[in-house]
Amino acid sequence: MRFPPRITRVGAAAAVLSALLVGGTVTATPATAAVGSICSSDLPSQAHDTLDLIERGGPFPYTQDGAVFQNRERVLPGRPSGYYHEYTVITPGSPTRGARRIVTGEASREDYYTSDHYATFDLVDFGC
């Protein structure tokens, strides 16, 4: 479990402030527009199960777990291929893998949760 550098949020805030002060425009990239945050305690219990499996190195319930996440939606910050990996968060009652995932980055405690199959992501905050 990993946290990314805070520069992404700080950089986005600085761009908005700069644009407001000098009368410019702000163009949000998908990476800064769609990544929110979620308190670890607000995650569903199945997400905690997945995070525990990641920490232990498996075994994982699906063969796709641990696969490289390509970030094709460009919602997460741009990184080289192989930086992100995805893991299934089991959805009770679903006959398929469902839409919930944990996507990890290589940086220390950088874990993202999505409940809508990559449309939006929340950075998991382990400090709350």
pLDDT at 10: 35
Identify the CATH class of 7-125: alpha beta
**60-86 pLDDT per residue, tens:** 999 999 999 999 989 999 999 999 999
Q: Which parts of 18-118 are beta strand (E)?
A: 35-39, 67-69, 84-88, 101-104, 111-114
Domain parsing of the chain, residue ranges: 7-125
What CA–CA distance (Å, rounded) separates 124 from 38?
A: 5
Catalytic residues: 86, 117
pTM score, whole prediction:
0.73
For residue 81, how many C-alpha atoms fall within 13 Å in the half-sphere facing its CB? 2
* Residue 61 burial (10 A CB sphere; 0-12, 13-18, 19+): middle
| pLDDT tens series, the chain, 128 aa | 443 333 333 333 333 333 344 444 444 344 444 699 999 999 999 999 999 999 999 999 999 999 999 999 899 999 999 999 999 999 999 999 999 999 999 988 899 999 999 999 999 999 99
Interacting residues of 41 by C-beta distance below 8 A, sequence separation 6+: 128
Asked if residue 122 lies in contact with residue 40, where contact means CB atoms within 8 angstroms, the answer is: no
pLDDT at 34: 65
Interacting residues of 24 by C-beta distance below 8 A, sequence separation 6+: 18
pLDDT at 29: 41
In angstroms, how far is the first alpha carbon of the chain from the final one?
A: 15
**b or e along 19-44 (b: 16 or more beta carbons within 10 Å of the residue's beta carbon)?**
eeeeeeeeeeeebbebbeebebeebe
Asked if residue 3 lies in contact with residue 123, where contact means CB atoms within 8 angstroms, the answer is: yes
